[in-house]
């Protein structure tokens, strides 16, 4: 997949991590805020509880 300029598409690309902070009330959440920011991290390495679960965007588990 290409890296589109549209964050709604970008957050669905395999091998990325999507992190969002701020308001989530529009999705039924409990956080109401003037801010909602999305971040897309391409080719991340993720370690959870001491175990590497993703390296350079490739799922290991």
Give the tens place of pLDDT for each residue, 17-58: 999 999 999 889 999 999 999 999 999 999 999 999 999 999
State the DSSP string of 10-56.
HTTSTTEEEEEEE--GGGT-S---S-EEEEEEES--EEETTEEEEET
Query: In what helix (H) or strand (E) does residue 58 lie, and over which residues does it extend?
Result: strand 58-59
First to last CA, the chain: 22
pLDDT at 1 over 60: no
The residue to which tokens 């409990």 are assigned? 30
């Amino acid at each position: 997949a290409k890296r589109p300029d549209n964050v709604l598409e970008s957050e669905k690309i395999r091998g990325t991590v999507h992190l969002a902070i701020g308001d989530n009330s529009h999705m039924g959440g409990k956080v109401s805020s003037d801010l909602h920011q999305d971040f897309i991290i391409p080719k991340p390495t993720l370690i959870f509880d001491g175990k590497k679960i993703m390296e350079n965007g490739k799922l290991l588990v």
